[in-house]
Amino acid sequence: SQKIEQNSEALNIQEGKTATLTCNYTNYSPAYLQWYRQDPGRGPVFLLLIRENEKEKRKERLKVTFDTTLKQSLFHITASQPADSATYLCALAHGSGNTGKLIFGQGTTLQVKP
Amino acid sequence: DAGITQSPRHKVTETGTPVTLRCHQTENHRYMYWYRQDPGHGLRLIHYSYGVKDTDKGEVSDGYSVSRSKTEDFLLTLESATSSQTSVYFCAISESMGNEQFFGPGTRLTVL
Q: What is the pLDDT of residue A8?
A: 78
Of A41, A46, A104, the CB nearest to B102: A46
Cα angle value B93/B106/A96 (rounded, 5°): 35
Q: Among residues of chain A, what percentage have pLDDT more than 70?
A: 94
According to DSSP, the residues that pair with A63 across neighbouring strands are A58, A76
Neighbour-count burial of A72, counting CB atoms closer than 10 A to its CB (0-12 exposed, 13-18 middle, 19+ buried): middle
* Mean pLDDT, all residues of chain B: 95
Look at residue A34 and tell me whether its pLDDT is greater than 90: yes
Q: What is the pLDDT of residues B40-91, one digit of tens each?
A: 888 999 999 999 999 999 989 999 999 999 999 999 999 999 999 999 999 9
Phi, psi dihedral angles at B56 (to 5 degrees): -150, 160
Average of per-residue pLDDT across B11-18: 97
Q: What is the pLDDT of residue A101?
A: 84
Look at residue A98 and tell me whether its pLDDT is greater than 60: no
Of A32, A43, A100, the CB nearest to B90: A43
Q: What is the pLDDT of residues A39-89, one digit of tens each?
A: 999 999 999 999 988 989 999 999 999 998 999 999 999 999 999 999 999
Average of per-residue pLDDT across A87-95: 88
Distances in whole angstroms, Cα of residue A75 to Cα of each of A50, A58, B83: 11, 10, 36
Question: CA nearest A8 in B: which residue?
Answer: B40
Band (pLDDT 50/70/90 cuts) for residue B2 is low
CA neighbours within 13 Å on the CB side: how many for A78?
A: 7
Q: What is the helix (H) or strand (E) element at residue B13, kind and residue range?
A: strand B10-13
B103 at A interface, C-beta within 8 A: yes
More confident residue, B102 or A97: B102
CB spacing of B102 vs A107 below 8 angstroms: no
In whole angstroms, give the CA distance from residue B48 to residue B68: 10
Distances in whole angstroms, Cα of residue B28 to Cα of each of B72, B75, B107: 7, 16, 22
- Burial per residue of B47-85, b for 16 or more beta-carbon CB atoms within 10 angstroms, e otherwise: bbbeeeeebeebbbbeebebbbeeebebbbebeebeeeb
Detail the DSSP E strand segments found in A7-70: 11-14, 19-26, 32-38, 45-51, 56-59, 62-67
Probe site for chain A from B97, B99, B107 (most A CB atoms < 10 A):
B97
Radius of gyration of chain B (CA): 13
Q: What is the pLDDT of residue A52?
A: 87
Q: What is the pLDDT of residue A99?
A: 56
Q: What is the pLDDT of residue B96?
A: 85
